[in-house]
Amino acid sequence: MKIFINCLTVLALVFFLAPLCMSAEPLKLYAAGSLKAALGDVTASYEKIYNVKVATKFGPSGLLRKAIEDGETADVFASADMTHPEKLASGGWGDRVVQFTRNQLCVLAQPEIEINTENLLSILLNEKIRVGTSTPKADPSGDYAWELFKRAEKIKEGSFAILSAKALQLTGGPDSEKAPEGKNPYGWVMSEKKADVFLTYCTNAVLAQKEVPTLKIIKINEALSIGADYGLIVRKGASTEASQLAEYILSPEGQKILGGYGFEPIAIQK
C-alpha cells in the first residue's frame, strides 16, 4: 500500500479553489480545541510562506459551530468530527466538507489506578472509579466517549447504562469549569483530582502528560476503540486566501505538522 500525499493538493483544489475576492482582513480560522497546538504551528508556517495573517479561535467544535450559526464570522472551520461542518454545509454556509485528519480516543489515568488495555472495561465499570469525559453535543470528544460506551454494551450487557450515568462531563461544555490560562484542560482536570480516569483524544493525552508526567496513558483495545474523523470547510464567499489556507492544511507540509502531534495524516491510497 502506497500513500501519495502529493495528490492532496489536487484534491484541495477540487474542493476549495474558487474565483473569490481578495481580502485585506486577517483570515479567521475556527478550530477544535484538540487542534490548538498542531494548527497553531500550521498557521504559523502558512503565515510565513504566504504573508497572510490568520486569527484563530479554538474550542469545542459544537460550540464553535453554534457561534457561527449565531452570526460570528469564520472563514475556515476545522472540526473534530464531520457532523458539525456538514450541518453548516447543509445550511449553505459552505459548499463541501473534507476530512483532513484522524484521531483516536485514549484513557488518561491517575498514577495509583491499576489500569491497562486488558482490564480497561472492568476498571471503567468499577463503581469506585470516577470516569471523566468531555460534554456530548458540545464537544465531539464527549460524543466519541458515548460511542465507546455503546461498544462496551456489546461486550457486557448493562455497560452503557452504567457508564453513561456515571460519566462526569468535566470539559467542553458551555458551563464547564475552565482551566487556568496556558494549562492543558485535561492535565489540569486530572491534576485537580476531579476524575480517576478521563476519556479524551490520544493527542490531548500526550499534551496532558507533558504537563503532568505522573499521568498514565492507556491505549484502548480494538473492541472498544473509537476513531475520530476531522472535517474541514471553507465559508462560501470567503477570500481566495481562505481556500489557500485549507489547501495548505491538506498539503504535505500541513499534514506533516499534524502528524508530528500524533494525528493521522489523510492521503489518497492506491
Q: Is the predicted pLDDT of residue 19 greater than 70, yes or no?
A: no
Minimum mean pLDDT range among 55-64, 108-117, 177-186, 261-270: 261-270
Angle subtended by helix axes 36-50 and 252-260, to nearest 10: 150
CB 194 within 8 A of CB 168: yes
Is residue 125 over pLDDT 80? yes
- Beta bridge partners, 98, equal 232
CB atoms within 10 A of CB 26: 14
For residue range 81-92, what is the model confidence (pLDDT) as tens digits? 999 999 999 999
Q: To which CATH superfamily is domain 3-102+227-269 assigned? A: Periplasmic binding protein-like II (3.40.190.10)
% of the chain residues with pLDDT over 70: 90
User: In which residue are the cell numbers 460519566 written?
Assistant: 167
- Kindly tell me if the per-residue pLDDT of 110 is higher than 90: yes
Residue 97's identity, in one-letter code, is V
Q: How far is CA 93 from CA 68, 70, 147, in A?
A: 9, 12, 28
Closest among 8, 46, 29 to 238, alpha carbons compared: 29
- CA angle, residues 224, 229, 232, in degrees to nearest 5: 165
Where residue 95 falls among pLDDT bands split at 50, 70, 90? confident
Rounded CA gap, 157 and 134, in Å? Answer: 24
Cell 500524533 belongs to which residue?
262
Class of domain 103-219: alpha beta
d(CA 152, CA 221): 11
Residue 268 has pLDDT above 60, yes or no: no
DSSP helix/strand/coil, 133: strand
Please tell me the pTM assigned to this model.
Answer: 0.79
Arithmetic mean of pLDDT over the chain: 91
Q: Residue ranges of the domains in the chain?
A: 3-102+227-269, 103-219
In eight-state DSSP terms, residue 259 is H
- Mean pLDDT for 103-128 is 97
